[in-house]
Structure 1
Amino acid sequence: MAEAYPAYEDRPRRRGRKVLIGFVVLLLVLAGLLAVADRVAAGVAERAIADQVRQQVAKQDVQSAPPKVDVGGFPFLTQVIAGRYQHISIVLTDVQGSVQGDAVRVPRLDVDARNVTASLDTLRSGRGDVIAESVDGRATVAYDSLAKMLDRPGLTLGERDGKLTVTAPADILGVKLTVHGTADLAVANGKVALRFNELTAEGLPNLPLAKTLLANYARSISVKVPLPALPFQLSVRKVEPRPEGLVVTADAQHVPINSAG
């Protein structure tokens, strides 16, 4: 009979372990449900903001594929209660606008909005402002759109070793040549200044006049190209050639990222 007591004494311990395990499992299940609910709520907000962004872009006479919005930060529900969101990313693709009557194609525009203020009522009703403390944008302008603005038939632009390159047909002193070269880039007042200063042409006549005409051609395509108006009051800070196009970096402070209702 003495041997039965230890087994009897272990029963409360086993029950205690089972209760503890059950409690832990319950906590895990609740945490999972809260995480799912959090992401579902974030998805609702993302769709609401995407719809308002679409309306704002349309107001600027710009066309694009439906915007993709991602609300960052966890947990989301606490951000809803506070009415302040850590990070919202917006991606616009197939953006098309116009500059001085010329169509400009922007394959992709990435926007990162930080410290965004939006009330629950604004997200629910679509009325009111969604204000971002800071916005950073990165747009890719297609080379074919940029070349069209230079209005030189046959001229093509591209990138090599981090430099903007040009290839174009030219007629110099009756000789049909293909001109190659690179350009320096600068940004001023929403325009990109292209300065072609290293043009060469194989077969160019070795005459001072021919070299002068080639230099004149370089000056004729060294122009300031206006960029399409970017949404969210973005101001261009830097441009750099990449294989996919001319990449424009822009930013803004304290701006609405939706269309005010």
Structure 2
Amino acid sequence: MRALRILLIIAIVLGGIFVAVDRIAVNIAESKAADKIQSSQRLSSSPDVDIKGFPFLTQVLAKELDEVDVSLSGVTATAGGHSVNVTEVTAELYAVRIDSSFSSVVAGRGEGAANISYADLSKAAPKGATVGYAGAERAAKGQVKVSGPLTDLLEGQGVALPSAVKALLQGRTVSAYSTVALNGSGAVQLRAEALPKLPVPGFDQRLRKAVDYDLKIEGMPSSIKLDKVTASETGLRFSGKGTDVRLAG
């Protein structure tokens, strides 16, 4: 009985040592993976990497991790020819293939999400247009508010306004609620449900061109295809899925 008790104590001690060694190893691996991802993706700051699953060491021996969660910051993308900040970039990666030095990190499949603020979306909007929050009810329908001075919107579309017409329209602001969607190529489409009738005939179509536009966002991981966009109080949130998502190597 005493021998059994001693064996049990030894097993508990060894088990505790194994758990401690396993956790130390995973912390080192997370730091190393973060450095590789930062270098590979050319990020301005180190990402947060969380390697899931236990034990970690057996996953390393198999050279495949069950799940790795990554949070990125310092990400920029190009939208409408303008550099925009991408915030709250997260990725959940599964069946992650690695090598011993973490110089190669490739996930069999992954899910990602990111936010772009209304301020950055406005930078990429047509001249004179500002994109903003449309309120909780309309945001739930995937709508945003697009507004701007009427003269700026028209002149942004190359419309030469005679002095008399410009004086008539001066000070008038146009606001429209636009539905946001993704097309097949991953570009963001903004389409206004209705526009106010202009007091000057012939400019309605030009105004719609200033309000309805497509926004191609480039610089995101190419292996994750964006398939959903939702409107929130702070901006648009994009999400998507992909296979063979390469973060390093």
**Judging changes above 3 Å, is the alpha-carbon distance between structure 1 residues 174 and 245 closer, same or farther for their aligned structure 2 residues?**
closer
Deviations 1:191-236 (A, max 9, x none): 1111122345xxxxxx763587466423322111110221252221
Partner of 2:17: 33
Structure 2-normalised TM-score? 0.80
Query: Pick from 175, 179, 186: which aligns with 1:184?
Result: 179
Q: Which residue of the partner structure matches residue 193 of structure 1?
A: 189
Q: Which runs of 5+ in 1 are unaligned?
A: 1-15, 201-206
Match of 1:50 in 2: 34
Contact 1:170 1:179 in 2 (8 A): yes
What is the rounded CA distance, in whole Å, between the counterparts of 1:222 and 1:19 in structure 2? 80
Secondary structure, counterpart of 2:223 in structure 1: coil
Give the Å deviation of 1:255: 3.3
Q: Which amino acid aligns with 1:27?
A: A
Is the 2:79–2:215 Cα contact (8 Å) retained in structure 1? no
Q: 2:225 aligns with which of 226, 231, 235?
A: 235
> CA distance change for structure 1 residues 195 and 100 in 2, over 3 Å: closer, same or farther?
closer
For 1:32-181, list aligned pairs within 5 A.
Answer: 32-58=16-42, 63-99=43-79, 101-120=81-100, 122-123=101-102, 126=103, 129-153=104-128, 155-160=130-135, 161=137, 162=140, 163-171=143-151, 173-181=168-176
Structure 2, unpaired ranges of 5+: 152-165
Select the structure of larger CA radius of gyration. 1
Equivalent-residue separation in structure 2 for 1:208 and 1:244 (angstroms): 31
Report the AA paired with residue 25 of structure 2.
A
How far residue 22 of structure 1 moved from its aligned partner, in angstroms, is 4.7
TM-score of the aligned structures, taking structure 1 as reference length: 0.77
On the 8 A contact 1:195/1:219 being kept in 2, the answer is: no
Give the structure 2 partner of residue 10 of structure 1.
none
Aligned pair in 2 of structure 1 residues 106, 208: CA closer, same or farther (>3 Å)? closer
Task: Give me the CA root mean square deviation.
Answer: 2.5
Q: Quick one: higher RCO (CA 8 Å, sep 6+), 1 or 2? A: 2
**Paired-residue identity, %:** 24
